[in-house]
Each structure stands twice: as C-alpha cells, then as structure tokens.
Amino acid sequence: MDTIALVLLGLLLLALVLWDVFETIVVPRPTPGWFRIGRYIVRVAWRLVRAAAGPGPDRSAAVERTMGLFAPAATLVLLVAWLVGLFVAFGLILFGLRDQLEPSPPNLGSAIYFSASSVLTIGYGDIVATGTLARIAVVAAAVCGLGIVALVVTFLFSLYGSYQRREAPVVLLQAKAGSPLSAVVLLENLARFQLADHLPQFFGEWERWEVEVLDSHVAYPLLGYFRSSHDNLSWISALGTVLDTATLVLTTIEGVGRGQAELVKVLGDHLVEDITNLGNRAPASATLDRASFDAVYDRLAAAGYRLAPEDVAWPAFSAARASYAGRLAEMAAFWVAPSVSWFGGSEALRSPTHRPARADETAAAASLSATEEAAER
C-alpha cells in the first residue's frame, strides 16, 4: 500500500474517532449518525449483558451487581476504544510517512507503537520524527490524546452529577411509595399522614425532575444505563409511579387540584416518547385489567379519597395510561428495570406499615369480641 493510501486511511479513521468523541461528549443533544463507534460498543455489550442476566425475578445478587457495573465500565471502555482508534489512525499516518522517521519503522506494528507513545505523550525517543509532516502528525497525536482524556474525565463528572440529581428524589420516593414502588401505596400513605393536599406540590417537584432527566438522558444516553444503588429501585419505575399517581388524580380521585397533575403527565409522556425514540426499547407489554383497577379503586376509597363513579373512572384511566404505559414497559425491558409492574402486584399494593393478622391473632380478636358482647348483654 503506497504512502498516500496509508495516510488517507489513517486520516479517515482519525476523523471517525474524533467525530464520535465530539458527538458523544461535546454535543449536548442526540446526534444520530450512520457510524458511531461508541454507540455500537455500548449497545452490543449491553445486549450481551442483558441476555446473560436472564429473567428479572430469577436474577442473583451477583448478576445485579454486574449489571450495576456496566455503565461505569462502559465509559472506561469507550475511552480505551477511542485511544486505540487514535493509536491505529496515527500509526497508519506515520507508517505512510516512515521515510520521515529515524529509524524508519520496519512494519505497521512498530509505527503503531510509536503512535501510541506519542498519543500517551510518553516519548521514549527510540523513534524520532525528522520530516515536517511527520512532526506535525506526532504533535497532533499528543494533542488528541491529552484532549480525549481530559474530555472523558469531564464527561464522567457531568454524568455522576446528573446521576445523583436523578437518584436523590427516587430514594425519597421509596420512603413514601414502598418497595417496589407503587402509586397506590403512595396515595394511601399521603392520606394516612394527612398530606393528600400536598399532591400539587409533589407533582411540581417531579415536574422539575422530569425536566432534568429529559434534558440529561436525551443529551447523554449513557445515563440510562446507570442503575440505582438501592435494591428494587429504578428511575424508570419511579417515573411510572409518578405518572400512575397523576393519572389516578386526573381520572379517578376528586377534590384534589388537577392542574399540576396534568402538567407532570404531559411532560412525562414527552419524556418516555423521546427516550424510546432514541432506540432504547425492547419488546414488552403493559396491561392493566379491570379487576386490578377495581382493587385499586377499593383501596383508594378505603383510604378516604372521594372518587369518581367507577364505571366512569375506569375507561378514562385506561385511556390516559395508554399514552405512556407501553413505552415505559419498553424502557423497563431494555434496561432490565427491577420492577416493571407499576402497581407492583398485590404485595406492592400493601402499605409498608400494614401486616396481615396471623391466625392466632384473629382467633384472639374473635374471642375478645365475643366476651365484650356477652358482657354487654
């Protein structure tokens, strides 16, 4: 291969690496492209990890820890991939300019070695650039290497800052909505603590959270792969819980201000649509049958909420939930969220402070009741 072909091939690979770094780190918005090194690495690696994880309920603690390490590891793998791309790109360029190096590299491997020492600014001095073009290439290699390392370090700080701002409200929500998170448990606890009138304030806080997540996760999709540090907790299930709560307020619960609930639902619909449009989806289904809704309706009535007629509330709730439930299920399937049932099943619908009575307690209570009735007679 002649000199010009080697140099052109090296310049092409260099352009692809620098463009991928630019789109991944520097540009704060989604940048679809026909070829993205980082995107392919992350997506392919995640598919392998997701396949190895197996079904959600059967995952072991070790598998969960492994999945939790994926996003930080992927960031470091991207750095290594970009550096290796620079090694090869400048190696091709310098091998094409080998007549301007002293001593001249005997093969491509030696040129890549010299390229790597230049990119990492090691500079052993065993090979020296003597020509103008070769010297320019060596200096450019050092600048690119230092620049990419600095950008990745800055990128990591930005990712972890956004991650912490995302996770703090999710952990706080767990204290109110149980584990796994449940919209019904949240509403029960708010009623029990006489905080139901604070729902508009609650929705206002989560509206700001949705803005933060929408802005950061669309700009830097790698954030979606960062998992919560707490068991049975996920930002996806938290979003589903808040949207289900807002939908219940809009369609089923009366006597509560609905303006803020409408705003948080509209923004939440926009959030799940934009995230899934980035390709972060997997086949999934999200259904809620009438029997489940009836159970929810009864619990809310028992909690003291004033409700719309059930036959009116059910179709309204079902239609409103359809705008986000399917996409949310796709997100949960793609990122293997700890909980993909936004009402959490029968266990999640139980308040954290509620404990079913044991058989001996039930018998004792019945005996006490019979004694009191006899005494009254």
Separation between Cα atoms, residue 302 and residue 166, nearest integer Å: 33
Q: Decide: 271 and 239 in contact? Cβ < 8 Å.
A: yes
A 10 A CB-CB count for 251 gives: 21
Q: Decide: 326 and 287 in contact? Cβ < 8 Å.
A: no
CA 49 to chain centre: 15
Q: Decide: 95 and 111 in contact? Cβ < 8 Å.
A: yes
Q: Decide: 86 and 17 in contact? Cβ < 8 Å.
A: yes
Percentage, residues of the chain above pLDDT 90: 55
Strands (E), the chain: 101-102, 128-129, 253-254, 306-307
Separation between Cα atoms, residue 281 and residue 272, nearest integer Å: 10
Look up residue 352 and give its two tokens.
């954290």
Which ranges of the chain have pLDDT less than 50? 344-377
Rounded to 5 degrees, φ, ψ at 126 are: -75, -20
Which residue in 32, 36, 24 sits closest to 151, CA to CA?
24
- State how far the alpha carbon of 286 is from the alpha carbons of 94, 130, 139, 249, 352, in Å: 56, 66, 55, 20, 25
pLDDT at 357: 38
pLDDT at 126: 84
pLDDT at 204: 95
Count the helix, strand and coil residues of the chain and give each as a percent rounded to the nearest 5. 75, 0, 25
For the chain, domains (ranges, CATH) are: 3-152 (1.10.287.70), 178-348 (no CATH)
Separation between Cα atoms, residue 314 and residue 294, nearest integer Å: 8
> Buried b vs exposed e over 79-115: b needs ≥16 C-beta within 10 Å?
bebbbebbbbbbbbbbbbbbebbeeebeebebbbbbb
pLDDT at 320: 94
127: DSSP letter? S
Sign of CA dihedral 128, 132, 134, 137: positive
Beta pairing class for 101-102 and 128-129: antiparallel
pLDDT at 118: 92
With a CB cutoff of 8 Å and minimum separation 6, the contacts of 248 are 183, 187, 296, 300, 317
Q: Decide: 81 and 64 in contact? Cβ < 8 Å.
A: no
Cis peptide before 180 (omega within 30 of 0): yes
pLDDT digits (tens, 9 = 90+) for 100-110: 999 989 999 99
Separation between Cα atoms, residue 145 and residue 28, nearest integer Å: 22
The whole model's pTM is what? 0.82
pLDDT digits (tens, 9 = 90+) for 202-252: 999 999 999 999 999 988 889 999 998 887 789 999 999 999 999 999 999
pLDDT at 80: 93
Separation between Cα atoms, residue 57 and residue 67, nearest integer Å: 15
CA 228 to chain centre: 9
Rounded to 5 degrees, φ, ψ at 253 are: -90, 130
